[in-house]
C-alpha cells in the first residue's frame, strides 16, 4: 500500500524544551493510524507540524510523496483536521460555521453535502442554533463535520472523543472505522487512552517525551503471541516442584508459595488451569499481566529508552 | 472575493462591531443636543467680533461648523474604535481557537493577513462614512447650511457655504487613510498576541503617547516629530484652510501610506513565521 504521510527526523523545541525529537514514521493509505501518548508527549505538536501550524526545527514531512512545505496549500485541500478543542465562531450558527469552513476549503460544496455531513455526525435539526449554545460534544461533532465536509482523503483527528458522552464516543469510533473501511479514508487519530486506539486503529505509534517508543500493527503490539499469566493459588510449597518435567515448566517465569507466573499464549490458559486443579493447586485467581494499561505504562516508563519497531 | 466576503460577514455579524457605530452616533447626538440648547449663546460671545466685521451668510452655528467640532472631539476616540476590530482580527481568532482551524484550510498566511487588513479597512471606511452621516448630514439637517467659520488658535478662516462640502468629502477621504494606518498598526500588534485586549490597549497607548509627542514643541523631539504618524493623522484639517496646503497634505498622506505598508509588511513577515500554538 502507498504511503500517505511520511516524516523524517522531525524535531521541534520550545524554549530549549524538546517537544518532538527525531520523529520518523509513515502512514499507509487506508490506515487508521493511532497516535498514542500521555498528555504532553508531543502528539499535538506533531499533528500541528503535519498541518503547517507549527514549523519544525528540523526534519521533513511528505504527504503523498510531496514535501509539505513546497505544496502546503494544495495538500491541505485533501486534509480534514481537528486539533485539540474544535473551537468555532460561537456567535454564528452551526450551519454558518460549516458553510464558512467549507468555503475556506476552496471547493464548490453544494448545500446537499452540508446537510449530508450534518446528518452523518448527528447534528441535523440543531444546525440553525448558535454554536455558543452547543455542548462540548456537539461542538466536537460539528468539528468532525467541518473536517469531513470537503471529502478529504486524509483526516487528522487530535483526541476526537474529548468531551463526548459514552454514546458519542461509541459513535465516533464507529464513524472512524467506517470512514476507513467504507470510504477508503486514511485517518490519523491521537489519544492518550490505549483502549480507544486499540478499538479503532490498524497501526499505531507510541510517543513519549517527543520520542518514538514503538510503532507497528496494533494486533502485533497489543495482542502478542505470548503474554504473562499470573496464577494466584492457596499457599502450597509443593506445586512448583510438580511442574518439573512437564510442558509448563518451560513457560514458568517465577514462583512463590502463593503465586506462579507463566509466559505463554493465552489460548493455553484453560489447559493450564485444568492441570493445576488436577495437581491439587487451589486456584484463587488467574490474570493476564499484559493489560493494556500495563503495556502502555511499561512503554512510557522512563526506564524504557530503547526504541522498538515491530 | 469569497474570502473577503466571509471575513466581512464575520465582522458585521459580531454585536461588538456595532458598539463603534453606537458610540459615534451617541457622541454626535450629544454634541448636536448641546449645540441646540446652549451653542448659540456660547458662540454669540466667542464670535462677536467676527459677526460684527463680516457678513456671514446663514446662521453661524450651522451644520458645517457643528460637524467640524464633532470631528475634532473624536480625534482620539475613532482610533480606539478602529482598534476594537482591527486589533481583534488575528488575536481574536487565536483567542477563540478558530485560527488553527482556519489555517488547516488551504489558504496561505499572507492571504489571511491581507484579507484581515482589507476587511478591517472596509470596516474603517464604513465607520468614517457613518461618522459623515451622523456628524455632517444630520447636523446639516438639524442646523442647516451656512458659511463656515474655522477658528484657529490665533486666526480664523471663513469658508463660503458653497465652498465647504467638497472639503468635507476630501477630509473624510483623508480620515479613511489615517484610520487605515491605525487599522494596520492594530493588525500588526494583533499578530503578536493571542488575546485582543493587548493589541487594542497597545494601539491606544501608542496613539496617545505619539499624539502627546506630536504636540510637544520641545527641541528634544524636533528631529522625530515630522516622522510621527500621529502628526500626519490630522492632515484632514488642511482641507479647511484657505488656500488648501496641498503639498503638506500630500506629504502627510505619503507618510501614512508608508506607515501602513510598513505595518502590513511587518505583520506578514512575523505572522508567516509564527508557530500557531493557540
How far is B36 from B13, CA to CA, in rounded Å? 35
Instruction: Suggest the residue from A53, A56, A188 to mutate for an interface test with chain B (most B CBs closer than 10 A).
Output: A53
Check whether residue A148 and residue A29 sit in a common domain: yes
Whether B100 sits inside 8 A of A85 (CB atoms) is: no
Kindly determine whether residue B104 and residue A106, on different chains, have CB atoms separated by under 8 Å: no
Q: In this structure, are A137 and A284 located in the same domain?
A: no
Most A CBs within 10 Å, among B88, B93, B105, to test the A interface: B105
Q: Do A104 and B102 touch (CB under 8 A)?
A: yes
Q: How far apart are CA B162 and CA B175, in angstroms?
A: 22
Helices A166-181 & A136-148 angle (0-180, nearest 10): 10
Q: What is the pLDDT of residue A287?
A: 82
Residues B117-162: tens digit of each pLDDT: 999 999 999 999 999 999 999 999 999 998 888 777 677 788 888 9
Inter-chain CB proximity B107 and A104 less than 8 Å? yes
Total domains in chain A come to 2
- CB atoms under 10 Å from CB of B271, counted, come to 20
Write out pLDDT tens, residues A200-222: 999 999 998 999 988 888 877 77
Residue of A nearest to B100 (CA): A53
Residue B255's H or E segment, with its range, is helix B246-273
- Nearest chain A residue to B97 by CA: give it: A87
Domain boundaries, chain B: 2-273
Of B6, B13, B100, which has the smallest distance from its Cβ to A83's Cβ?
A: B100
If interface means Cβ-Cβ distance under 8 Å, which residues of chain B face chain A? 2-3, 6, 9-10, 13-15, 96-98, 100-108, 273, 275-277
Three-point CA angle A135, A144, B103, nearest 5°: 105
Q: Provide the pLDDT for residue A261.
A: 85
Residue A252: pLDDT over 80: yes
In a domain, A308, yes or no: no
Domain-located, residue A171: yes
Residue-level pLDDT at A9:
95
Among A50, A100, A158, the strongest candidate for a mutation testing the B interface, having the largest count of B CBs within 10 A, is A100
For residue B195, the SS3 value is coil
Q: Which of A310, A297, A292 is nearest to A198 (CA)?
A: A292
Q: Is residue A164 part of a domain?
A: yes
Q: How far is A265 from chain B (nearest CA, A)?
A: 45
Write out the three cell numbers for A282: 487451589
For chain A, count helices (H), then strands (E): 11, 15
Least confident range from A152-161, A264-273, B108-117, B194-203: namely A264-273
Domain assignment of residue A305, yes or no: no
- Which among A36, A13, A8, A14 has a CA at the least distance from the CA of A216? A36
What does DSSP assign to residue A93? B
CB A53 to CB B104 under 8 A? yes
Residue A49 included in any domain: yes
Q: Give the pLDDT band of residue A303 (cuts 50, 70, 90).
A: very low
Residue A307 predicted with pLDDT over 50: no
Asked if A113 and A243 sit in the same domain, the reply is: no
* A141 part of a folded domain: yes
- What pLDDT is recorded for position A219? 79
Choose among A91, A106, A146: nearest Cβ to B14: A91
pLDDT of residue B45: 62
Note the pLDDT of residue B23: 93
3-class SS at A262? strand
Q: Which residues of A touch B (CB under 8 A)?
A: 48, 51-55, 72-74, 76-77, 79, 81-92, 100-101, 103-106, 143, 146
Residue A87 C-alpha, separation from nearest chain B C-alpha, in angstroms: 5
Q: What pTM does this model have?
A: 0.84
Q: How far is CA A87 from CA A147, B5, B15, B142, B188, in A?
A: 12, 21, 19, 48, 24
Residues A171 and A150 in one domain: yes
Residue A309 belongs to a domain: no
Inter-chain residue contact A87 with B6, CB threshold 8 Å: no
Do B6 and A100 meet the contact criterion of CB atoms below 8 Å apart?
yes
Whole-angstrom Cα distance, residue A205 to residue A197? Answer: 10
Return the closest-CA partner of residue A248 out of A259, A261, A236, A237. Answer: A261
Domain with A278, as residue range(s), is 227-289
pLDDT (0 to 100) of residue A213: 87
Residue B240, C-alpha cell as written in the block: 479647511
ipTM summary value: 0.84
* Shared domain check, A126 and A168: yes
> Are A158 and A238 in the same domain?
no
Contacts of B97 in chain A (CB under 8 A): 84-85, 87
Do residues A173 and A82 both lie within one domain?
yes
The residue with greater pLDDT, A231 or A77, is: A77
Query: Do B108 and A73 contact (CB within 8 A), yes or no?
Result: yes
Verify whether the Cβ–Cβ distance B108 to A146 is below 8 Å: no
- Rounded to an integer, what distance in angstroms lies between the CA atom of residue A205 and that of residue A20? 14
CATH number reported for the structural domain that contains residue A73 in this entry: 3.40.50.300
Helices and strands, number each (H, E), in chain B? 14, 2
Whole-number Å distance between alpha carbons of A138 and A167: 12
- pLDDT tens string A30-46: 999 999 988 888 999 99
- Contact across the interface for A104 and B10, Cβ inside 8 Å: no
- Are A243 and A264 part of one and the same domain? yes
Q: Residue A223 above 90 pLDDT?
A: no
- Strand A211-217 and strand A308-309: the pairing is parallel
Q: Tens-digit pLDDT profile for chain B (278 aa)?
A: 888 999 999 999 998 899 999 999 999 999 899 988 876 666 666 666 666 666 666 677 889 999 998 988 887 789 999 999 999 999 999 999 999 999 999 999 999 999 999 999 999 999 999 999 999 999 999 999 988 887 776 777 888 889 999 999 999 999 999 999 999 999 999 999 999 899 999 999 999 999 888 888 777 778 888 889 999 999 999 999 989 999 999 999 999 999 999 999 999 999 999 999 88
In this structure, the answer to whether residues A239 and A212 fall within a common structural domain is no
Buried b (16+ CB within 10 A) or exposed e, A225-254: eebbbebebeebeebbebbeeeebeebbee
Residues A145 and A35 in one domain: yes
Q: For residue B2, which residues of chain A lie inside 8 Å, CB to CB?
A: 103
A306 has pLDDT over 50: no
Cα dist from A206 to A3, A24, A54, A198, whole Å: 19, 12, 21, 12
CB contact under 8 A, B2 and A103: yes
Which residues of chain B make contact with A15, given a CB cutoff of 8 A?
Answer: none
- Band (pLDDT 50/70/90 cuts) for residue A60 is very high
CB contact under 8 Å between A52 and B103, yes or no, is yes
| pLDDT confidence of residue B209 | 92
Is the pLDDT score of A291 beyond 90? Answer: no
User: Do A233 and A217 have their domain in common?
Assistant: no
Residues in A closer than 8 angstroms to B96, CB to CB, are: 87-90
Give which of A47, A51, A63, A87 to mutate to test B binding, by max B Cβ within 10 Å: A87
Q: Which residues neighbour A221 within 8 Å (Cβ) at sequence distance 6 or greater?
A: A204, A214, A295, A310
Question: Taking CB atoms and an 8 Å limit, are A100 and B108 in contact across chains?
Answer: no
**In this structure, what CATH number is given to the domain that contains residue A281?**
3.30.70
A294 occurs within a structural domain: no
User: Rounded CA gap, B228 and B118, in Å?
Assistant: 24
Name the nearest CA neighbour of B117 among B142, B98, B137, B89.
Answer: B89
Alpha-carbon distance A166 to A171, whole Å? 9
Give the pLDDT of residue B187. 97
- CB burial of B116-154 (b: ≥16 within 10 Å; e: otherwise) equals bbebbbbbbbbbbeebbebbbebbbeebebbbbbbeeee
pLDDT for position A309: 43
- For cell 520523529, the residue is A23
* Among candidate residues B115, B109, B84, B103, the one with its CA nearest the CA of residue B277: B103
Q: Between chain A and chain B, how many beta carbons pairs sit less than 8 Å apart? A: 78
Looking at the fold, whether A263 and A115 belong to one and the same domain comes out as no
Cβ-contact A296, A194 below 8 angstroms: yes
pLDDT at A290 over 60: no
Between A31 and A236, the higher pLDDT residue: A31
Enumerate the residues of chain B whose CB falls inside 8 A of the CB of residue A103. 2-3, 6
Amino acid at each position: 500500500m502507498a504511503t500517505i504521510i511520511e516524516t523524517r527526523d522531525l524535531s521541534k523545541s520550545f524554549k530549549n524544551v524538546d517537544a518532538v525529537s527525531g520523529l520518523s514514521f509513515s502512514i499507509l493509505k487506508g490506515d487508521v493510524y493511532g497516535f498514542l501518548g500521555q498528555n504532553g508527549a508531543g502528539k499535538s505538536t506533531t499533528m500541528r507540524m503535519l498541518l503547517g501550524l507549527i514549523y519544525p526545527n528540523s526534519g521533513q514531512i511528505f504527504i503523498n510523496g510531496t514535501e509539505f512545505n513546497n505544496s502546503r496549500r494544495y495538500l491541505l485541500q485533501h486534509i480534514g483536521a481537528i486539533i485539540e478543542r474544535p473551537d468555532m465562531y460561537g456567535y454564528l450558527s452551526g450551519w454558518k460555521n460549516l458553510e464558512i469552513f467549507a468555503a475556506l476549503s476552496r471547493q464548490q460544496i453544494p448545500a446537499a453535502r452540508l446537510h449530508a455531513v450534518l446528518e452523518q455526525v448527528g447534528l441535523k435539526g440543531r444546525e440553525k442554533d448558535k454554536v455558543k449554545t452547543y455542548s462540548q460534544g456537539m461542538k466536537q461533532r460539528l468539528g468532525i463535520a467541518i473536517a469531513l465536509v470537503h471529502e478529504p482523503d486524509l483526516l487528522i483527528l487530535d483526541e476526537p472523543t474529548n468531551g463526548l458522552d459514552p454514546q458519542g464516543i461509541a459513535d465516533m469510533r464507529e464513524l472512524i472505522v467506517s470512514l476507513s473501511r467504507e470510504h477508503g479514508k486514511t485517518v490519523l487519530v491521537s489519544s492518550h487512552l490505549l483502549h480507544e486506539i486499540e478499538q479503532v486503529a490498524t497501526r499505531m505509534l507510541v510517543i513519549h517525551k517527543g520520542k518514538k517508543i514503538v510503532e507497528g500493527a496494533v494486533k502485533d503490539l497489543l495482542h502478542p503471541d505470548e503474554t504473562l499469566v499470573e496464577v494466584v493459588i492457596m499457599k502450597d510449597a509443593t506445586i512448583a516442584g510438580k511442574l518439573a518435567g512437564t510442558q509448563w515448566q518451560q513457560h514458568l517465569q517465577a514462583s512463590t508459595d502463593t503465586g506462579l507466573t507463566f509466559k505463554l499464549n493465552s489460548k493455553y490458559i484453560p489447559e493450564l488451569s485444568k492441570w493445576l486443579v488436577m495437581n491439587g493447586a487451589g486456584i484463587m485467581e488467574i490474570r493476564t499481566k499484559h493489560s493494556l494499561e500495563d503495556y502502555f505504562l511499561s512503554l512510557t516508563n522512563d526506564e524504557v529508552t530503547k526504541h522498538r519497531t515491530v | 472575493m469569497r474570502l473577503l466576503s466571509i471575513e466581512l460577514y464575520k465582522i458585521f455579524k459580531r454585536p461588538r462591531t456595532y458598539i463603534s457605530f453606537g458610540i459615534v452616533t451617541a457622541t454626535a447626538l450629544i454634541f448636536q443636543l448641546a449645540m441646540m440648547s446652549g451653542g448659540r449663546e456660547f458662540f454669540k460671545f466667542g464670535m462677536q467680533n467676527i459677526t460684527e466685521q463680516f457678513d456671514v451668510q446663514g446662521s453661524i452655528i450651522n451644520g458645517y461648523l457643528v460637524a467640524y467640532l464633532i470631528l475634532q472631539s473624536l480625534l482620539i476616540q475613532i482610533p480606539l474604535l478602529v482598534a476594537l476590530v482591527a486589533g481583534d482580527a488575528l488575536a481574536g481568532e487565536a483567542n477563540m481557537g478558530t485560527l488553527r482551524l482556519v489555517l488547516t484550510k488551504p489558504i496561505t498566511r499572507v492571504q489571511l493577513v491581507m484579507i484581515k487588513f482589507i476587511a478591517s479597512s472596509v470596516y474603517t471606511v464604513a465607520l468614517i462614512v457613518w461618522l459623515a452621516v451622523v456628524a455632517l448630514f444630520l447636523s446639516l439637517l438639524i442646523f442647516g447650511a451656512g458659511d463656515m467659520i474655522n477658528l484657529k488658535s490665533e486666526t480664523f478662516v471663513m469658508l463660503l457655504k458653497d465652498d465647504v462640502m467638497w472639503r468635507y468629502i476630501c477630509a473624510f477621504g483623508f480620515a479613511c487613510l489615517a484610520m487605515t494606518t491605525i487599522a494596520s498598526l492594530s493588525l500588526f500588534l494583533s499578530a503578536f498576541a493571542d488575546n485582543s485586549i493587548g493589541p487594542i490597549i497597545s494601539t491606544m497607548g501608542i496613539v496617545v503617547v505619539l499624539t502627546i509627542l506630536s504636540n510637544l514643541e520641545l527641541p528634544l523631539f524636533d528631529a522625530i516629530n515630522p516622522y510621527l504618524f500621529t502628526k500626519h493623522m490630522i492632515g484632514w484639517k488642511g482641507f479647511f484652510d484657505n488656500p488648501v496646503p496641498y503639498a503638506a497634505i500630500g506629504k502627510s498622506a505619503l507618510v501614512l501610506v508608508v506607515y501602513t505598508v510598513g505595518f502590513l509588511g511587518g505583520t506578514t513577515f512575523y505572522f508567516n513565521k509564527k508557530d500557531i500554538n493557540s
